[in-house]
Amino acid sequence: MKLPQIILLVAIAIGIGIIVSVSFDVSTYRTFKEAKEMALNNDKSEIHVVGSLIKDEHGHIQGMYYEPRIDPNYFSFPLKDSLNNEMTVVYSSPKPADFDRSDKVVVIGKVKGDKFVASKILLKCPSKYNDKEIEKTSYKEDELLEQTLALKQ
């Protein structure tokens, strides 16, 4: 074989390898019902579930548990999927920054028992793109910010 033919064959093999590896990584969004069915069938693969955080009239997330002084690597919260199925999500890492500002969340993981155990959390934050929606969350934060600014001057 000549050198150009060898280079062409190697390029084709690399292209096929890329296509195969990408096709196995493509994931669609599932529901908690599908996740439970997969767990019952002993399917150990991780899936993506998109859902909405459950908030009260003041915009505070209900049912969220995160106590960094007790265990900084335990974070849980209820999530409602696109079909309004609700499930508790458990994440064994610190709470993501800006989680409280999120409306929609994508969790990647699998069902274990009666909980969805997430290995990754992806946030959908409209407040990052709309400055008008950013609001102050508490008086103590305002006071702390004023004290910090005063120290810098």
148 in any annotated domain:
no
7 in any annotated domain:
no
The enclosing domain of 94 has a CATH number of 2.40.50.140
151 in any annotated domain:
no
39 in any annotated domain:
yes
149 in any annotated domain:
no
Residue 131's domain comprises 24-135
CB-based contacts of 129, cutoff 8 Å, min separation 6: none
Q: What total number of domains does the chain contain?
A: 1
pLDDT digits 0-9 by tens, 35-46: 999 999 998 889
Task: Reduce the DSSP state of residue 115 to 3 states and report it.
Answer: strand
Average pLDDT of the residues in 93-122: 92
Alpha carbons within 13 A on the beta-carbon side of 113? 5
- State yes or no: pLDDT of 85 exceeds 90: yes
DSSP 27-49: --EE-HHHHHHHHHTT----EEE
pLDDT digits 0-9 by tens, 37-78: 999 999 888 999 999 999 988 888 999 999 999 999 999 999
Helices (H) and strands (E) in the chain, counts: 3, 7
